[in-house]
Amino acid sequence: MNVRAIEHVGITVPDIEAATRFFVDAFGAEKLYDMLDAPLGGPEVEVGLGIAPGAVITAIRMLRLGNGPNLELFSYTGVPQSQPVVPSDLGIQHICIYVDDIDTAANRLEKAGGVLLSRPGDLPGGDAGKGNRYVYTRTPWGSTIELVTYPSAQAYERHTHLRRWRPGFTEPSDHETQVK
């Protein structure tokens, strides 16, 4: 199969500088580069991205976040924007960031201007295991981010040989499989 992984997650933000500061302060993200030299809009962009007529991309910035997918921040003008979706809405409704110490990460997110929707709690059901915890949060502009840690085996692992991605866990490459 030709699929390797999620390469980046795109997030539209109201202020690219403020959003960059949030991701740097909350998660240690690193600014890689800005993609645009000038605003990007017009009929070809509107059709190509499926955006409303008059929408103009004023900035696109790529951030590196740990060992997971990159974050691509977008800033638009020219059209009214709705509020960020919440988990009960259809479509992609949150990103999840794996952390080693969820209490420290939650505190850091709050100090950066984010909001915890609760305190970190135990993961339920198939994710359950000793020390496996999560918490849902909101960015300063209202997007939902889940923080998760699962240092122990998860309950689902008793029922299948398949495993979720986790830091330090890698599947053998096609080459490694062929060599054995």
pLDDT, residue 174, reads 41
| Tokens 């080693």 sit on residue | 100
Q: What is the pLDDT of residue 167?
A: 73
In angstroms, the first-to-last Cα distance of the chain is 19
pLDDT of residue 169: 53
Q: Measure the CA–CA gap between 54 and 76, rounded to whole angstroms.
A: 10
Q: How far is CA 158 from CA 9, 70, 109, 161, in A?
A: 31, 32, 33, 8
Q: What share of the chain is helix, strand, coil (3-state, %, to 5)?
A: 25, 30, 50
Q: Look at residue 165 in the predicted model and tell me its pLDDT.
A: 81
Range(s) of the chain covered by CATH 3.10.180.10: 1-81
Q: Where in the chain is the domain with CATH 3.30.720.110?
A: 83-180
pLDDT of amino acid 177:
37
From first to last of the 180 residues of the chain, give the pLDDT tens digit: 788 888 999 999 999 999 999 999 999 999 999 999 999 999 999 999 999 999 999 999 999 999 889 999 999 999 999 999 999 999 999 999 999 999 999 999 999 999 999 999 999 999 999 999 999 999 999 999 999 999 999 999 999 999 988 776 555 444 333 333
Superfamily per CATH, domain 1-81: 2,3-Dihydroxybiphenyl 1,2-Dioxygenase, domain 1 (3.10.180.10)
Mapping DSSP to helix (H, G, I), strand (E, B) and coil, where does residue 136 land?
strand
Q: Quick check: 119 and 99 in contact, CB under 8 A?
A: no
Q: What is the pLDDT of residue 63?
A: 97
Topology (CATH level 3) of domain 83-180 = 3.30.720
What is the predicted pLDDT for the residue at 2?
Answer: 82
Phi, psi of 108 (to 5 degrees): -65, -40
Q: What is the pTM of this model?
A: 0.87
Whether residue 6 contacts residue 70, with contact meaning beta carbons closer than 8 Å, is answered with no
Residue 60 in contact with residue 72, Cβ under 8 Å? Answer: yes
